[in-house]
Amino acid sequence: MSETAGLCEIFFSRSGFWTFIFCLFLVWTPVKGGLHLIGSSQPIVAAPGDDVILPCRVDPEWDAVGKTVEWSRPDLRPTGPQKRVEYVFVYRFRKTDRDMMMDTYIQRTSLSQDGLRRGDVSLTIRNVSLQDQGRFRCFIPRLGVEAELLLVVDPNFVSTTTETVSHRNLITLTPQEETSRNGESAGPNSDSLGSDKFYFVLRFFDIFLLLFQVIGPGCFFLSPSFSSSFL
């Protein structure tokens, strides 16, 4: 009995300590399960010359700053043999990647910097034309989720939108140095917190069972150093 307790004490005082720290790291690692993109189930209608916003956001709320966001047109055939899709807008490394975008959208598309902090990846298209009509796809590689929206450009449509796009904090294609973030990103909403707690409990329970099987039940109850930590 004393020999078993001695072995357990050595384990917990050396390698066991780092094993325990590693398990805590696994438990507290953020979980991305359950995140998905929400777009518009109805077509977005605009008149030629309008500025339009294609709504799309991550649910539950998720900080997308610094993450890759891709907007493309799946209906269009790629112009080059090396291209699989025609990109309307590509955001990565905290800036716009113009080299991957279609020329016609380089100066007309943008995302909102403030919106990205809340998981809002809506795309703004300025001065739309009949050539812009069709399906648009938003894809976030980090999450492996996507959403599609339909843009209809109708010459007879009368716009009733009152939002002024130029007043938004937009990420455009003008080359500039990265600006430092002035504040912390918005925290998750109540649904996200509830989901994180649920996954935390499951992961903690799994790790506890793993340690229990590897170390053995005697180590938890016979080790003097382990027992004294609770006194």
CATH number for the domain running over 36-171: 2.60.40.10
- The 3-state DSSP class for residue 78 equals coil
CA distance 36 to 32: 10
User: Count of CB atoms within 10 A of residue 203's CB?
Assistant: 16
How large is the angle between the packed helices 15-28 and 2-13, nearest 10 degrees? 60
The model's confidence at residue 186, banded by pLDDT at 50, 70 and 90, is: very low
Q: What is the token pair recorded at 185?
A: 């990103």
How large is the angle between the packed helices 15-28 and 190-215, nearest 10 degrees? 150
Residue 132 — left, alpha, or beta (φ > 0 → left; ψ -120 to 50 → alpha)? Answer: alpha
Looking at residue 185, what is its pLDDT?
35
Residue given tokens 């990109």 in the structure block: 87
Q: What is the token pair recorded at 228?
A: 């004294």
DSSP run (H or E) holding 37: strand 36-38
For 157-170, the pLDDT digits (tens) are: 986 543 444 444 55
User: Count of CB atoms within 10 A of residue 57's CB?
Assistant: 19
The model's confidence at residue 138, banded by pLDDT at 50, 70 and 90, is: very high
For 52-100, the pLDDT digits (tens) are: 999 999 999 999 999 999 999 999 988 777 778 899 999 999 999 999 9
Looking at residue 83, what is its pLDDT?
72
For the four alpha carbons of 226, 29, 36 and 61, in that order, the dihedral sign comes to positive
- The 3-state DSSP class for residue 51 equals coil
Helices (H) and strands (E) in the chain, counts: 6, 12
Domain ranges of the chain: 2-30+190-228, 36-171
Q: Answer whether residue 136 shows pLDDT above 90.
A: yes
Q: Terminus-to-terminus CA distance in the chain, angstroms? A: 21
Residue given tokens 């438990």 in the structure block: 27
